[in-house]
Structure 1
Amino acid sequence: MDVAEKLKKDEKEFDIIIACDTVIHFNDQIIGKPTDSEDAFRILKQLNNREHSVYTGVTLVDSSLRSTQFHEKTHVVFGNISDEVLRAYVETGEPIGRAGAYGIQLKGSALVQEVRGCYNNVVGIPIFELVKQLRLFLKK
Structure 2
Amino acid sequence: MKPLILASGSPRRKELLQQVHLPFQVKVSNIEETFDPSLSPEEIATSLAFQKANNVFQENKEAVVIGSDTIVVLGETVLGKPKDEDEARATLQKLSGHTHFVISGVSIVSAEKQLNFFEKTAVTFWELTEEDIDFYIKTGEPMDKAGSYGIQEVGALFVKEIKGDYFSIVGLPLSRTVRELKNFQ
TM-score scaled by length of structure 1:
0.89
Unpaired runs of 5+ in structure 1?
9-13
Task: Tell me which residue corresponds to 1:138.
Answer: 184
Task: Tell me which residue corresponds to 1:101.
Answer: 148
Runs of 4+ in 1 over 6 A off after TM superposition: none
**Residue 66 of structure 1, CA deviation:** 2.7
Q: 1:26 & 1:65 partners in 2: Cα distance?
A: 37
Task: Tell me which residue corresponds to 1:11.
Answer: none
Q: 1:47 & 1:93 partners in 2: Cα distance?
A: 18
Greater mean deviation of Cα atoms: 43-52 or 29-38: 29-38
- Contact 1:5–1:65 under 8 Å retained in 2: no
Task: Tell me which residue corresponds to 2:120.
Answer: 73
**Residue 84 of structure 1, CA deviation:** 1.1
Task: Tell me which residue corresponds to 2:93.
Answer: 45
Q: 1:6 & 1:32 partners in 2: Cα distance?
A: 28
Q: Tell me which protein shows more strand as a share of its residues.
A: 1
Q: Percent of pairs identical after alignment?
A: 34
Q: 1:100 & 1:26 partners in 2: Cα distance?
A: 9
Task: Tell me which residue corresponds to 2:83.
Answer: 35
Using CA pairs under 8 Å that are at least 6 residues apart, name the structure with larger relative contact order, 1 or 2. 1
**Residue 131 of structure 1, CA deviation:** 1.4
CA displacement, residues 50-105 of structure 1 (integer Å, 9 cap, x when unaligned)? 0000000001012x163111000000000011011111101110001111110100
What is the total number of aligned residue pairs between the two structures? 132
Structure number with bigger Rg: 1
Out of 107, 113, 138, which is 1:91 matched to? 138
Task: Tell me which residue corresponds to 1:22.
Answer: 70
Q: 1:45 & 1:90 partners in 2: Cα distance?
A: 12
- Contact 2:57–2:63 under 8 Å retained in 1: no
Task: Tell me which residue corresponds to 2:32.
Answer: none
Task: Tell me which residue corresponds to 1:129.
Answer: 176
Cα–Cα, structure 1 residues 68 and 120, in superposed 2: closer, same or farther, change >3 Å?
A: same
Out of 46, 56, 59, which is 1:3 matched to? 56
**Residue 129 of structure 1, CA deviation:** 1.2
- Contact 1:22–1:32 under 8 Å retained in 2: no
**Residue 43 of structure 1, CA deviation:** 0.6
- Contact 1:49–1:78 under 8 Å retained in 2: yes
Structure 2 counterpart of 1:33, which letter? K
TM-score scaled by length of structure 2:
0.68
